[in-house]
Amino acid sequence: MYSGIKRLMRNFTPRLFAIKDKDGKTLTENEEISNRWKEYCSEMYEDNTNEEKKQVESNDEILEPTRSEVEWAIKQLPKGKSAGNDKIHAEMIKASGEQGIDIFHKLCKKIWIEEKWPDEWVKSVFVPIPKKGDFTTMF
């Protein structure tokens, strides 16, 4: 019986539902943890450069995406990756063939002309992956 329990428990890793804030205080409430993750991600992606942003004007006309560029981009999609929020895998897009390329080309042209991404495309899912060691810290 002991060996059976040992075998079942050998891969057990207790999950901690707590993280530490900047000051080392342990946060255990879901809302506190969520706010800390939000704060952490905001800091990670914050632009700390002191450079002045310049708008570059050009007389060169930038051409809209061509069908061959869209076809090339579809062929470059990696295999075996998870689907996004839309639940569409890269393999499904690749398998859509010529008709799929035409649809994606029209979509890319529409985005190019309107200069606006579809709302669904700007959403992302954040999946924290615990690191080795003390995974209550984020740094």
Determine if the pTM surpasses 0.85. no
Residue 65 CB: number of other CB atoms within 10 A?
15
Residue pair 123/87 in contact by the 8 Å Cβ criterion: no
- What mean pLDDT is predicted for residues 9-24? 73
Which tens digits make up the pLDDT trace of 39-86? 888 888 887 777 776 776 766 778 899 999 999 999 999 999 888 878
